[in-house]
Structure formats: structure tokens, C-alpha cells
Amino acid sequence: MPKFGRQSRKQLASCDERLQRVCNRAIEVIDFSVICGHRAEADQEEAYREGKSQLPWPYSEHNERPSRAADIVPYPIDWDDRERFHFLAGVIKAVAFIEGIPLTWGGDWNKFQDLPHWQIADGK
């Protein structure tokens, strides 16, 4: 059975407990890494400058404490394998549904597709 490595556990620990619940259940089904949870100001500004985020500090769900967003990727990571991102999304969506946790996936966005991005969708 897959399990999170040290870095994934560290990133996930910075996230809202609902994201933790979904990810901890999903890892029992599919192998993936959590590459980002909370983002500090410098990290958010860098992500914004590089075009990896559409929002500057402090407007991203990653900037909340605990983070209301997590970036997760299928393991092993292949940024070009969109199929694996979509398969992972199916698992995450199913687990979130079962847990009753409203999530939004960046892969469902029209203007800016962010395949690793997941965020709590409860209207804050």
C-alpha cells in the first residue's frame, strides 16, 4: 500500500484537517505526493511571478493557516502525463464525496488549468 514520504507529510500537516482527511484516505488507493500546502509570502510571490499561481500574496487559499489548498501530484511525478492527473482527480473527488468534504480541483477551471491544485470549496 502506498504511503506518504516525509516531505508530503510535512506539507499535508500545514493543511486544513479536511484536506488531510481526504488525502490520508486517498493514499490508501493511489500513490501521490503532496508538494505544497501552506505558502509563506515569499513562496506565494514567487509562484505568482512564475505563473504557477494566478493570485499574489495573501489572496491564495495556500496563504491561509491552516492552508485551505494543497498541490498534489501522481507519484512518480511526470508533469506531462495529464491522464494520471485526471485519474488521481477521480480518486480524490470520490473520497471527498464519501467524506462529505466540498473540494474544487484546479483541473476543472476554464481560464487557468492547475492540475495539482485542490482547495476547500465551502465559501469560506
pLDDT digits (tens, 9 = 90+) for 17-39: 999 999 999 999 999 999 999 99
Residue spans of the domains in the chain: they are: 6-120
Q: What is the mean pLDDT of residues 72-93?
A: 98
Q: Per CATH, is 6-120 categorized as 3.30.1380.10?
A: yes
In this predicted structure, the answer to whether residue 124 has a pLDDT above a threshold of 80 is no
Q: What is the mean pLDDT of residues 25-54?
A: 97
**What is the pTM for the complete model shown?**
0.95
pLDDT for 39 equals 98
Bridge partners of 34, per DSSP, are 72
Share of the chain above pLDDT 70, in %: 99
Q: How confident is the model at residue 46 (pLDDT cuts 50, 70, 90)?
A: very high
In this predicted structure, the answer to whether residue 51 has a pLDDT above a threshold of 70 is yes
pLDDT for 123 equals 73
